[in-house]
C-alpha cells in the first residue's frame, strides 16, 4: 500500500461524517464518559500548534475511550465574547460578530482537517443569544440571592482597555491583555460574591484528581490564613483600630500600628491629626502607585506618622505611635497591622528606617492561643476577592438589569431573556466609565418591569469569563429553550470526567467555573458540587529555537502548513511523540517528516499481511505486550511512550516475511486513536466494512505478558557444567537457589564446601568450590 495522506484523509473524513461516527451515543448499556477540552477562543490567527497539541491529545483520549466501549461525550464550541475579539474587530474595522463568524469558520475547518472527533451537532457559542440567555438567567438568580450586587469601591481600571478589571485579570499589577499599569478607580460596578464560596472552593479541591500543582495554584489564589483580630484603643478617644494578625503571640512586641493609606480612620480622626496635610499628601501619592510598587520585596518602605494620636497596645497597656504606610494594603485583612519589628521582616525594615522601638518577646503556639482568647476574636481571612463582573465594553453579554428611579435595580423578567446585545455605530471604548451601549437611547430607555415607570437598562457588559464558567453544561443539552440543562440529562452526564486544558487557566477560569457550578448546585440546577473530576494540563509548544512561537520572533509554524506537507496523521503522531504531555516541548519539522516515514513504513508492512498464516510465538507475544503498553499509556496520558511502543512493534513486524491478518488488525486498532485515517484505511484493506472506531479495543492475554525466558549457564570452577531456563528478570537469589537445587549441578559440587558464587544476571552463574 502506497501511503498517500491526501486521498485517504479526504475519503475517511467524508465516511465518518456520512456515517455519523463522531456523534455522541446515549449512555444506555454503556458507561458514560465525558471527555472535555477547554474550548477555544477563535482568534484571527487561526489554530496554532499549542491547540494542535492539546486537542490532538484530547481527541486521542476520546477515541481510545470510545473503542473501550464507553459512551463518550466529546464536544467543542467557541468562547467568543470579550476583549480579544473586540480588539481584533476594532483593528480590522469589522463588527465583532462578523469577526467571530469568520474566525470560527476557519477554526472549525482546521479542526476538521485535524480529524478531531467532536460531536459537531452539540457545538455551542457563548455569543449566541440562545446560549447567553442562560448566562443572564444565572446572573439574575445570583442577583435574587444577593450574590450579584452593585458596589462603588475603587477597582482596577485599565487606562488603555478603558474598562474595569477583576483581580484575576492582572499580572503583576498590569493589565493581562495590554500590559498597562492599572489604576485604582472608584466606580459603580457589578460584583459577584465569590468569597462566600471561598471555604468550599478550598475544601472541595481535595478529592479531585487534579495535578498537585493545579490544586496548589488554586489554594494560593484563595489564600486562606487563620489569625485573629485585635483591637487597639486610641488614647483619649472612644475610637479603636482593629488589626488582623496571624501572629497574636507577638502582641507584646507590637511597638507601633500601621494603617493602609486607604484606611477610613484617617478621615475620622482628621481633626486630631496634627500633620494632616502631610498625611493627606502621602495618601494621595500612594493612590497613584500600583500594588506591586507598594509591596515588592526589597522596595524601600515609606510612611508618615499620625502626629497627635497614640494607640494603646492591649497586651502591655503601653502607648504606641500610629503610622500610615503603603506597604499595608487597604483591601486585605482590616487594612491595619500591629507592627512587630522583632518578628516581621517588613516591620523591621520600617522600624530601622524611622528609628521606631523594637522589643524582644517570647512567642509560642500556647501564647498565641492565650492571646487570642484574652484580646480578640479568632478570624479567618482569604486573599480571594469578590469578582468584579462588569466591563465598560461593547462585546459581552448585557447585564440583565433595569434601573428604575422608584424601584432601584430590577432584574429583567425571565420571559424577556435574552437581553440581546444591540447593534451600535461605534463599539470603541471610551473613558467615561460607561460602555458604548450607553449611547443607544432606544435600547437604554425602557419601562421598569416592576412599576411600569421610566427605566434605564444597565449598559455594562459581562467579562469574557462569564460564558466559560458554565459552558460545559450546555453541551449536554445544547438546544434546550426551557432550561439551562435538562435535569435528567445533567444527571446522566455530569461530572466532566476528564478536563484537558492549559495551565494559564488554573486561577481564573477554573476558579470562576467551580464557583458558578457551586452556585448552580445550590439552586438545584446541577447535581454535583464540583464540575471537573480529573484535570490534565498541557505543556507549551515552543519553536525550534526554544522560544515561544510568536509573530514577533518570526518562528511560528502553522498546523495547516504541516498538514499540507506531511498529512494530518503525521502531525498527530508527532504532536503525541514530541514529549511528556504536561511538559513544554520544542517543535521540530524533522519530527513531522519522521512521523510520515513511520506511516510509509506501516504501508509497506501492510503488504506482507497474509490471510492464512500463523504468527511466530515472538510476534504473538509482542502484539499482546503492545496492546497492554499502548492501552496503559493512553489511559495515563503517556502519549509519547504509546507512540514509541507502536514504533517498536512496527520494527519487529518489518523484519517478518509474512504477517498474520489477526496480528495486523490489532496493530491497526492500536494505531487508530493517534493516526485515524491510516488506521481506518488499513482496517478497510483487511476486509472490514464497519469503521475501525466501531470496533472494540483489542484485549491482551495475560499469558503473553509473562516475562521472556533466558538460558543461564552454570559453571563450576570456571567450567561449564549445566544450563537451565529461567525468567529473564529472575533475581540473583532465585538463580542461586535454582542452580544449587538442580541434580545436574549438584553432582559437580559433590558435597564440597562452596567458597564463592558469582552471578551475572540473565547469563551465568559461577560456583567456586
Residues that bind Zn ion (CB under 5 A): 158, 160-161, 175, 177-178, 180
The two beta strands, 585-586 and 609-610, are: unpaired
**DSSP for residue 398:** B
Within 13 Å and on the Cβ side, how many CA atoms surround 667? 31
Smallest distance, Å, CB 514 to ligand ANZ? 22
Candidates 55, 61, 132, 244; binder of ligand ANZ (CB under 6 A) is 244
Piece of the chain touching ligand ANZ by CB under 6 A; list 39-47, 246-254, 482-490, 735-743 = 246-254
Binding of ligand ANZ by 616 (CB under 6 A): no
**Residue 564 binds ligand ANZ (CB under 6 A):** no
Q: Please report whether residue 256 would count as binding ligand ANZ according to CB under 6 A.
A: no
Strand ranges across the sheet with 764-768:
719-727, 709-716, 764-768, 756-760
3-class SS at 215?
helix
Separation of alpha carbons 665 and 568, rounded Å: 21
CB nearer ligand ANZ, residue 72 or residue 228: 228
C-alpha cell at 687: 476486509
- The Cα–Cα gap between 582 and 630 comes to 18
Provide the 3-class DSSP secondary structure of residue 157.
strand
DSSP state of 581: T
Q: Which of ligand ANZ, Zn ion, none does residue 344 bind to, with CB < 5 to 8 Å depending on kind?
A: ligand ANZ
**Contact partner at residue 272 from ligand ANZ, Zn ion, none, CB < 5 to 8 Å by partner kind:** none
Q: What angle do CA 761, 764, 765 make, to 5 degrees?
A: 95
Q: How far is the CB of 461 from Zn ion (least distance, A)?
A: 16
Return the number of the residue (165 or 643) whose C-beta is nearest Zn ion: 165
- Grid cell listed for 575: 504532536
Interface with ligand ANZ, residue 225, by CB under 6 A: yes
What mask of x and - would describe binding to ligand ANZ in positions 322 to 341, judged by CB under 6 A? ------xx--xx-x-xx-x-
Q: How far is the CB of 384 from ligand ANZ (least distance, A)?
A: 12
Please identify, using beta-carbon distances, which residue of 86 and 262 lies nearer to Zn ion. 86
Distance of CA 700 to the CA centre of its chain: 35
- According to DSSP, the residues that pair with 150 across neighbouring strands are 190
Q: In terms of CB distance, is 340 or 627 closer to ligand ANZ?
A: 340
Q: Which does 641 bind (CB under 5 to 8 A by kind): ligand ANZ, Zn ion, none?
A: none
Cβ 227 to ligand ANZ shortest distance, Å? 6
Q: Which stretch binds ligand ANZ (CB under 6 A): 40-48, 134-142, 243-251, 655-663?
A: 243-251
d(C-alpha 536, C-alpha 58), whole Å: 10
242 binds ligand ANZ (CB under 6 A): no
As a whole number of Å, the CA-based R_g of the chain is: 34
- Residue 386 lies near ligand ANZ (rule: CB under 6 A): no
CB-nearer residue toward ligand ANZ: 250 or 469: 250
Q: Which residue has the cell 487597639?
A: 232
Name which position in 189, 250, 464, 537 contacts ligand ANZ (CB under 6 A). 250
Cell of 449: 418591569
**Residue 160: contacted member of Zn ion, ligand ANZ, none (CB under 5 to 8 Å, by partner type):** Zn ion
691 binds, among ligand ANZ, Zn ion, none (CB under 5 to 8 A by kind): none
Task: At 492, give phi and psi (nearest 5°).
Answer: -65, -40
Judged by CB, which is closer to ligand ANZ: 32, or 381?
381
Q: Give the nearest distance from C-beta 247 to ligand ANZ in angstroms.
A: 4
> Of these partners, ligand ANZ, Zn ion, none, which one is at the site of residue 225 (CB under 5 to 8 Å by kind)?
ligand ANZ
Choose among ligand ANZ, Zn ion, none what residue 158 binds, the Cβ cut-off being 5 to 8 Å by kind: Zn ion
Smaller CB separation from ligand ANZ, 249 or 680: 249
**For residue 528, what is its C-alpha cell?**
454535583
Of 247, 359, 450, 456, the one binding ligand ANZ (CB under 6 A) is 247
Q: Considering CB distances under 5 to 8 angstroms, the limit depending on partner class, which of Zn ion, ligand ANZ, none binds residue 177?
A: Zn ion
| Nearer to ligand ANZ (CB atom), residue 331 or residue 534 | 331
Piece of the chain touching ligand ANZ by CB under 6 A; list 123-131, 245-253, 316-324, 538-546? 245-253
**What is the 3-class SS of 87-144, one letter each residue?**
HHHHHHCCCHHHHHHHHHHHHHHHHHHCCCCCCHHHCEECCCHHHHHHHHHHHHHHHH
Structural contact between residues 128 and 29, judged by C-beta atoms closer than 8 angstroms: no
Least spacing, CB of residue 54 vs ligand ANZ, in Å: 34
Among positions 646-705, residues that touch ligand ANZ (CB under 6 A) are none
Residue 175: which of ligand ANZ, Zn ion, none does it interact with, CB under 5 to 8 A by kind? Zn ion
Q: Give the Å distances, CA to CA, from 229 to 264, 338, 409.
A: 17, 10, 35
- Report whether 325 contacts 301 (CB < 8 A): yes
Which listed option, Zn ion, ligand ANZ, none, makes contact with residue 333 (CB within 5 to 8 Å by class)?
A: ligand ANZ
Give the separation between CA 675 and CA 599, rounded to whole angstroms: 9
Q: Is the peptide bond before 495 cis (omega within 30 degrees of 0)?
A: yes
Helices 639-654, 589-606: axis angle to 10 degrees equals 40
Partner in contact with 245, chosen from Zn ion, ligand ANZ, none, beta carbon below 5 to 8 Å by kind:
ligand ANZ
Pick the closer one to Zn ion by CB: 86 or 680: 86
The 3-state DSSP class for residue 186 equals: strand
Residue listed under C-alpha cell 464558567: 469
Q: How far is CA 160 from CA 80, 178, 179, 429, in A?
A: 21, 7, 9, 9
- The x, y and z cell numbers of residue 361, run together, are 518577646
- 161, interface contact from Zn ion, ligand ANZ, none, CB < 5-8 Å by kind: Zn ion
Residues that bind ligand ANZ (CB under 6 A): 225, 244-247, 250, 260, 328-329, 332-333, 335, 337-338, 340, 343-344, 381
Amino acid at each position: 500500500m502506497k501511503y498517500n495522506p491526501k486521498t485517504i484523509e479526504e475519503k475517511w473524513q467524508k465516511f465518518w461524517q456520512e456515517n455519523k461516527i463522531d456523534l455522541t451515543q446515549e449512555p444506555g448499556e454503556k458507561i458514560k464518559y465525558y471527555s472535555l477540552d477547554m474550548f477555544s477562543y477563535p482568534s484571527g490567527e487561526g489554530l496554532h500548534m499549542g491547540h494542535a497539541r492539546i486537542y490532538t491529545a484530547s481527541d486521542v483520549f476520546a477515541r481510545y475511550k470510545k473503542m473501550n466501549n464507553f459512551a463518550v461525550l466529546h464536544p467543542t464550541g467557541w468562547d467568543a465574547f470579550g476583549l480579544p475579539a473586540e480588539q481584533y474587530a476594532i483593528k480590522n474595522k469589522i463588527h465583532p460578530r462578523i469577526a467571530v463568524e469568520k474566525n470560527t469558520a476557519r477554526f472549525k475547518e482546521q479542526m476538521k482537517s485535524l480529524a478531531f472527533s467532536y460531536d459537531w451537532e452539540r457545538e455551542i457559542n457563548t455569543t449566541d443569544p440562545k446560549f447567553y440567555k442562560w448566562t443572564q438567567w444565572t446572573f439574575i438568580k445570583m442577583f435574587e440571592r444577593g450574590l450579584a450586587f452593585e458596589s462603588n469601591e475603587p477597582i482596577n481600571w485599565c487606562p488603555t482597555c478603558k474598562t474595569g478589571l477583576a483581580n484575576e485579570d492582572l499580572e503583576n499589577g498590569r493589565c493581562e491583555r495590554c500590559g498597562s499599569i492599572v489604576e485604582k478607580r472608584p466606580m459603580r460596578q457589578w460584583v459577584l460574591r465569590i468569597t462566600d464560596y471561598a471555604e468550599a472552593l478550598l475544601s472541595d479541591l481535595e478529592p479531585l484528581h487534579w495535578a498537585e500543582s493545579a490544586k496548589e495554584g488554586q489554594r494560593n489564589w484563595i489564600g486562606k490564613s487563620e489569625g485573629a483580630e485585635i483591637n487597639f484603643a486610641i488614647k483619649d478617644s472612644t475610637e479603636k483600630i482593629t488589626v488582623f494578625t496571624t501572629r497574636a503571640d507577638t502582641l507584646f512586641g507590637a511597638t507601633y500600628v500601621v494603617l493602609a493609606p486607604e484606611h477610613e480612620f484617617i478621615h475620622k480622626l482628621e481633626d486630631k491629626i496634627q500633620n494632616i496635610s502631610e498625611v493627606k499628601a502621602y495618601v494621595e501619592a500612594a493612590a497613584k502607585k500600583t500594588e506591586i510598587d507598594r509591596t515588592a520585596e526589597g522596595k524601600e518602605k515609606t510612611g508618615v506618622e499620625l502626629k497627635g494620636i497614640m494607640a494603646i497596645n492591649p497586651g502591655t497597656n503601653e502607648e504606641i505611635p500610629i503610622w500610615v504606610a503603603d506597604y499595608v494594603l487597604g483591601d486585605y485583612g482590616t487594612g491595619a497591622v500591629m507592627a512587630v519589628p522583632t518578628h516581621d521582616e517588613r516591620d523591621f525594615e520600617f522600624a530601622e528606617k524611622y528609628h521606631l522601638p523594637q522589643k524582644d518577646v517570647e512567642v509560642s503556639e500556647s501564647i498565641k492561643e492565650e492571646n487570642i482568647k484574652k484580646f480578640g476574636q479568632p478570624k479567618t481571612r482569604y486573599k480571594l476577592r469578590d469578582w468584579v463582573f462588569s466591563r465598560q465594553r461593547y462585546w459581552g453579554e448585557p447585564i440583565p438589569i433595569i434601573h428604575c428611579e422608584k424601584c432601584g435595580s430590577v432584574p429583567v423578567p425571565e420571559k424577556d431573556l435574552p437581553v440581546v446585545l444591540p447593534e451600535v455605530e461605534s463599539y470603541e471604548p471610551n473613558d467615561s466609565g460607561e460602555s458604548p451601549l450607553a449611547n443607544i437611547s432606544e435600547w437604554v430607555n425602557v419601562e421598569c418591569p416592576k412599576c411600569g415607570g421610566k427605566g434605564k437598562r444597565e449598559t455594562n457588559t459581562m467579562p469574557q469569563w462569564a460564558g466559560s464558567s458554565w459552558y460545559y453544561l450546555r453541551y449536554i443539552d445544547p438546544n434546550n429553550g426551557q432550561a439551562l440543562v435538562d435535569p435528567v440529562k445533567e444527571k446522566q452526564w455530569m461530572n466532566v470526567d476528564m478536563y484537558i486544558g492549559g495551565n494559564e487557566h488554573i486561577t481564573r477560569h477554573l476558579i470562576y467555573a467551580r464557583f458558578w457550578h457551586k452556585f448552580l448546585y445550590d439552586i438545584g440546577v446541577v447535581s454535583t458540587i464540583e464540575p471537573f473530576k480529573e484535570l490534565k494540563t498541557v505543556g507549551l509548544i515552543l519553536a525550534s529555537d526554544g522560544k515561544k512561537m510568536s509573530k514577533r520572533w518570526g518562528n511560528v509554524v502553522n498546523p495547516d502548513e504541516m498538514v499540507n506537507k506531511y498529512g494530518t496523521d503525521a502531525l498527530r503522531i508527532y504532536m503525541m511523540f514530541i514529549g511528556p504531555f504536561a511538559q513544554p516541548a520544542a517543535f521540530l519539522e524533522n519530527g513531522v517528516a519522521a512521523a510520515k516515514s513511520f506511516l510509509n513504513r506501516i504501508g509497506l508492512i501492510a503488504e506482507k499481511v497474509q490471510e492464512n498464516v500463523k504468527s511466530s510465538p515472538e510476534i504473538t507475544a509482542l502484539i499482546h505486550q503492545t496492546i497492554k503498553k499502548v492501552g496503559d499509556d493512553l489511559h495515563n496520558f503517556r502519549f509519547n511512550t504509546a507512540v514509541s511502543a507502536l514504533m517498536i512493534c512496527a520494527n519487529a513486524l518489518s523484519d517478518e516475511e509474512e504477517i498474520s491478518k489477526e496480528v495486523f488488525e490489532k496493530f491497526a486498532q492500536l494505531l487508530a486513536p493517534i493516526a485515524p485515517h491510516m488506521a481506518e484505511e488499513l482496517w478497510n484493506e483487511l476486509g472490514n466494512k464497519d469503521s475501525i472506531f466501531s470496533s472494540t479495543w483489542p484485549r491482551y492475554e495475560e499469558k503473553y505478558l509473562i516475562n521472556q525466558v533466558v538460558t543461564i549457564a552454570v559453571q563450576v570452577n570456571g567450567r561449564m557444567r549445566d544450563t537451565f531456563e529461567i525468567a529473564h528478570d529472575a533475581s540473583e537469589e532465585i538463580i542461586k537457589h535454582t542452580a544449587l537445587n538442580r541434580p545436574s549441578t549438584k553432582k559437580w559440587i559433590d558435597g564440597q564446601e562452596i567458597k564463592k558464587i558469582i552471578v551475572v544476571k540473565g547469563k551465568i552463574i559461577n560456583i567456586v568450590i
